[in-house]
Amino acid sequence: MKPLSKANTAILTAIQEGDINKLIQASPYAKLLGVEAIVLGDEMLFHLPANDDNIGNPMLPAIHGGVIGGFMEVAAQLTVMHRVETPFVPKVVDLSLDYLRPGKNVASYAQCVLVRQGRKVVNVSITAWQDTQDKPIATARTHFLLSEG
């Protein structure tokens, strides 16, 4: 087995310390988006603050769909890394995303559920919302490959 890279070592340290926010700091894309994690006991809630740079349609104004999708994918990856305790960023096998309503330029939240975990593949369900969890702006399902290569 080859030695861990500097980035993978930072990820492993964050996992060993149980600190999801250190995992976020080890992810350049999560940092770029401004993703934050709120830990509530065994539950994790991801937060994407309002940001004018994330607007895709200035007429509404609405958050760009790619930002919403990227936020949900990053939340799912971080959840897998934290729960499965893997020092490697899981590789996306597939991602199916349903946009349900426009995302306003306000704080957004996402919650992930590990639906099934095998030895090599993890299935995750993600829900994103803004004002109320009962009115999601998007839902997604994704599979991740758990390997370094």
Task: Report domain extents, the chain.
Answer: 6-145
Per the listing, tokens 């509530």 go with 40
Taking the CB of residue 63, how many other CB atoms lie within 10 A of it? 26
Instruction: Pick the closest to residue 44 from 16, 70, 78, 72 (CA basis).
Output: 78
Per the listing, tokens 């976020």 go with 24
Q: What is the rounded distance in angstroms from the CA atom of residue 50 to the CA atom of residue 92?
A: 26
Amino acid sitting at position 70: G
- The class (CATH top level) of 6-145 is alpha beta
**How does pLDDT run along the chain (149 residues), one tens digit per residue?**
455 566 667 777 777 777 788 888 888 889 889 999 988 887 899 999 999 999 998 888 899 999 999 999 999 999 998 888 877 789 999 999 999 999 999 999 999 999 999 889 999 999 999 999 999 999 999 999 987 65
pTM for this entry: 0.89
